[in-house]
A = this chain, B = another copy of it.
Amino acid sequence: MNCQIVNATIITLNAKNEIIENGEIHIKDGIIQYVGESGPAFAADKMMDANRNVVMPGFVNTHTHITMNLLRSYADDMNLKDWLDKKILPAEDKFNDEISYWGALHALCEMAKNGTVALNDMYFYCNGIARAIEQSGHRAVISRGTVDPDPQTGERTFNDALQIYKKYNNVERIRVYMGPHAQYTASNGLLLKIAQTAKELKTGIHMHISETKREHEQCVREHGKTPIALAESLGLLDVPFLAAHCVYATEGDMELLKEKGAAVLSCPQSNLKLASGIAPILAMMEKGVLVSLGTDGAASNNNLSMWEEMTYASLLQKGTTLNPEAVPAMQALRLATQNGAKALGINSGSLEAGKNADLIIVDTGDIRYIPNYSVVSNIVYAGSDRDVLLTMVGGDILYEDGRVTFADEDEVKERVREIAEKIKT
């Protein structure tokens, strides 16, 4: 299908940071053909009038656990041990692929509505997750969280990860990475095996790493290395490596991440809410590390809004470095969109010919966008995910006119309400 968007304020996020007033975009077979003030003749099947609203790249949520939408508001303001032992683990024990499907679909509805076009997920019952993503049309990297509290569980979760890889890698818009859960939940032996397997499969690795002070200190004590240095020594960084959190990354860790081309997936709100701390992403970026943003799961956020993450990312760096010029609005917007696309190896994140048409239209008519001295400032510092009018992935519309196109939202809500009743203790 050929689609033409006209009358748009286009935030291109191209190398020149161009913002085009009253511009147009031509899309053919899901790929952008033209972005500018007035393009060549184009036979569009569908004309879309943006009404002077903003068209920009969609958000890429690089660290989440979408099934955890089922656990939103279930266990807040608790210490980690009670949170995990008394609430999360007993509830998760009742999960299965069907439950996982509804939780994932619920999250994908939320994401389509808030302008998210791609995600990177780690969880279990991945058949349900993959089924929901096939249905929604989001781009996604998924991984099966792999752990070995005992050898049996290690074998079971590793084999499941392989199965998921075989079944879903390159199905629709899904790719499958290996997902060692964390250094403190996976033995060095398992981590080594995962590194070798990822190399053989020519896939990447997604891992929680350097999230908490406790994790960092314990790893140094037991292995004489930081979690990131240990991961590097085991070969995990020899493939595309997605490093979730990195709150306690040292200067040396940052050098390693940079050298290996790993991507940091920073989750500012989750790191605060779980009392992990504030990741030094400005320092990372100054060292040349690729930093992207994620929401984490709804049990520790509690929504999947990348709008909030980009504001937190900017404000927290300003406030902790005492530098008001840190992470300006345009950079914050890049963190939440383009850098995520780069991290996940997706050919989008800017509006330019040749890129995937993974974009959103944002209503800038609300009082919070007035005055409009800077539309990017307004989006980053004053806007809200509720301003998203349309979400498009590869030319397909996932959300428009207040409705998701791939599911009956009311049914999804109702099913999730029912499941919530069953899983709570």
CB–CB B319/A382 < 8 A: no
CB–CB B370/A272 < 8 A: no
Among listed A54-62, A76-84, A127-135, A253-261, interface-contacting one: A76-84
Instruction: Using A373-B424, A377-B302 as known contacts, say yes or no to A278 and B74 having CB atoms under 8 A apart.
Output: no
State in angstroms the CA–CA spacing of A324 and B212 once bound together: 12
CB–CB B367/A109 < 8 A: yes
Which B-chain residue is minimally distant from A277 (CB atoms)? B319
CB–CB B271/A76 < 8 A: no
CB–CB A324/B79 < 8 A: yes
Task: List 10 other contacts, CB 8 Å, given A272-B315, A273-B319, A367-B413.
Answer: A70-B371, A72-B382, A73-B381, A76-B328, A77-B325, A77-B329, A110-B368, A113-B367, A298-B382, A370-B413
Residue in contact with A77 in the complex, picked from B276, B328, B384, CB distance below 8 Å: B328
Contacts of A322 in B (CB 8 A): 213, 275-277
Chain A window 366-380, contacts with chain B (Cβ cutoff 8 Å), 1 for yes, 0 for no: 011011111101100
State in angstroms the CA–CA spacing of A394 and B374 once bound together: 37
Q: Could you pull out 21 A-B pairs where Cβ atoms are within 8 angstroms? A: A72-B368, A72-B371, A73-B374, A74-B371, A77-B377, A79-B325, A80-B324, A106-B370, A213-B322, A269-B315, A272-B315, A272-B319, A275-B318, A275-B324, A302-B381, A303-B382, A370-B413, A370-B416, A370-B420, A384-B384, A384-B386
Minimal beta-carbon separation of A264 from chain B (angstroms): 18
Chain A window 342-380, contacts with chain B (Cβ cutoff 8 Å), 1 for yes, 0 for no: 000000000000000000000000011011111101100
State in angstroms the CA–CA spacing of A324 and B318 once bound together: 23
CB–CB B409/A367 < 8 A: yes
Which B-chain residue is minimally distant from A319 (CB atoms)? B272
Contacts of A83 in B (CB 8 A): 324
Minimal beta-carbon separation of A386 from chain B (angstroms): 4
A233 CB within 8 Å of chain B: no
Contacts of A337 in B (CB 8 A): none
CB–CB B278/A370 < 8 A: no
Task: List A residues 383-397 near B (Cβ within 8 Å).
Answer: 384-386
Which residues from chain A sit less than 8 Å from chain B, CB to CB? 70-74, 76-80, 83, 106, 109-110, 113, 213, 269, 271-278, 298, 301-303, 315-316, 318-326, 328-329, 367-368, 370-375, 377-378, 381-382, 384-386, 409, 412-413, 416-417, 419-420, 424
State in angstroms the CA–CA spacing of A373 and B423 once bound together: 11
Contacts of A378 in B (CB 8 A): 72-73, 302
State in angstroms the CA–CA spacing of A277 and B367 once bound together: 28
CB–CB B275/A382 < 8 A: no
CB–CB A381/B301 < 8 A: yes
Which B-chain residue is minimally distant from A304 (CB atoms)? B368
Minimal beta-carbon separation of A214 from chain B (angstroms): 10
State in angstroms the CA–CA spacing of A367 and B110 once bound together: 7
Minimal beta-carbon separation of A245 from chain B (angstroms): 13
State in angstroms the CA–CA spacing of A194 and B320 once bound together: 35
State in angstroms the CA–CA spacing of A70 and B269 once bound together: 30
